[in-house]
Amino acid sequence: METSFTPLTSFAGGILIGSAAIMLYAGLGRIAGISGIASRLLPPSGSARDRGWEAAFIIGLVAAPLLYQVLTGGPILQTFTAGLPLLAVAGLLVGFGSVYGNGCTSGHGVCGISRLSVRSIAATLTFMATGFITVFVLRHLIGG
Amino acid sequence: MARIVLGLISGLVFGFGLALSGMDNPAKVQNFLDLAGTWDPSLAFVMGGAIAVAMPAFFLFKKLEKPILDQSFHLPTKSALDKRLLLGAGIFGIGWGLGGLCPGPALSSAGLATTSALVFVAAMIIGMAVARRA
């Protein structure tokens, strides 16, 4: 299904995401990588000193769309094209792959590229490539 | 306490950014990945906006000795392109294409509590827990 191209709100949203990353780095010296922050809350547990801000960050992230809906009065569009079994497989792969590869769209894609990290640029090119191929196979080879 | 408040505010700002940018919508993300079909380039503008502010900031911060609320900066120390990095990223991209959500929007949309989002997030947390021990 088609979605409308939203360059302005997407760019503005990106600025907010980048600002959150700056806050975390200037304040705590940490990279805003969601897979890293989330996975360090899972066993084997990470540093006890960091557990507080990490849990607070996730709470903020989960509360944000609810607050967004209250403040803007509009619902957040969410259209899933995959059924539940496929979503479960996708979730497993996203969780495993992002933690195994030390980062996702935020840690590698935003922060890593901003720091000109060679590892992050390579990781971003890799997950973009497999993402493009997966959607091509799903929609154009298997049919959709 | 200041560290916890800062974590909460940055999580909120990050989540607001995701909601405003449209990245909480799996269909929109998958359309970015669908070059041969209903392509929607919006995701590139999200990354562009984020990098436009983060890149100059990261370079300016190189002059700082330490962050405001900690003793030192915590940056990744590895520099080699190893199999683990590329294999992990490759697997992540496949799941991203199949489901249309990466970890940020996935966790954020747990707040919206649709069955689809919750199934994805539950599976993602299991995947993360497995990788953390792998």
Share of chain B above pLDDT 70, in %: 100
Structural domain boundaries, residue A47: 7-141
Pair A19, B26: CB distance under 8 Å: no
Is the Cβ of A98 closer than 8 Å to some Cβ of chain B? yes
Q: Chain A, 10-49: which have a CB under 8 Å from a chain B CB?
A: 10-32, 34-35, 38-39, 42-44
Dihedral sign from CA coordinates of A32, A33, A34, A38: negative
| H-helix or E-strand spanning residue B97 | helix B83-99
Side-chain half-sphere exposure of B13, counting CA atoms within 13 A: 20
Structure tokens at A50: 């960091």
- Contact list in A for residue B98 (CB cut-off 8 A) is 82, 86, 89-90, 93, 134, 138
From CA A25, how far away is CA A58, in angstroms rounded?
16
Q: Do A102 and B84 touch (CB under 8 A)?
A: yes
Split into its structural domains, chain A has a count of 1
Instruction: Give pLDDT, residue A36.
Output: 95
Q: Do A64 and B14 touch (CB under 8 A)?
A: yes
Residue with tokens 């300016």: B60
Q: Whole-number mean pLDDT of chain B?
A: 95
Structure tokens at A47: 């540093």
Instruction: Give pLDDT, residue A5.
Output: 96
Tens of pLDDT, residue by residue over B2-55, are: 999 999 999 999 999 999 999 999 999 999 999 999 999 999 999 999 999 999
For residue A96, the chain B residue with the least C-alpha distance is: B127
From CA A44, how far away is CA A30, in angstroms rounded?
20
Confirm whether A1 is domain-assigned.
no
Confirm whether A80 is domain-assigned.
yes
Confirm whether A2 is domain-assigned.
no
Instruction: Give pLDDT, residue A45.
Output: 77
Q: Compute and round to an integer the Cα radius of gyration of chain A.
A: 17
- Contact list in B for residue A88 (CB cut-off 8 A) is 119-120, 122-123
For residue B109, the chain A residue with the least C-alpha distance is: A62
Confirm whether A52 is domain-assigned.
yes
| Whether ipTM exceeds 0.85 | yes
Residue/partner pairs of A53-57 with CB below 8 Å, 24 or more apart: A53/A28, A53/B3, A53/B4, A53/B6, A53/B7, A53/B8, A54/B7, A55/B7, A56/B4, A56/B5, A56/B7, A56/B8, A56/B11, A57/A24, A57/B7, A57/B8, A57/B10, A57/B11, A57/B14
Instruction: Give pLDDT, residue A144.
Output: 53
Measured in angstroms, the CA of B126 and the nearest CA of chain A are apart by 7
Please determine, for residue B95, whether its predicted confidence score (pLDDT) is greater than 60: yes
* Neighbour-count burial for B18-48, b at 16+ CB within 10 Å, e otherwise: bbbbbbbbbbbbbbbbbeeeeebebbebbbe
Per-residue pLDDT of chain A (144 residues; tens, 9 = 90+): 899 999 999 999 999 999 999 999 999 999 999 999 999 999 887 788 899 999 999 999 999 999 999 999 988 989 999 999 999 999 999 999 999 999 999 999 999 999 999 999 999 999 999 999 999 999 999 875
* Surface-to-core class of residue B69, CB atoms within 10 Å of its CB (0-12 exposed, 13-18 middle, 19+ buried): middle
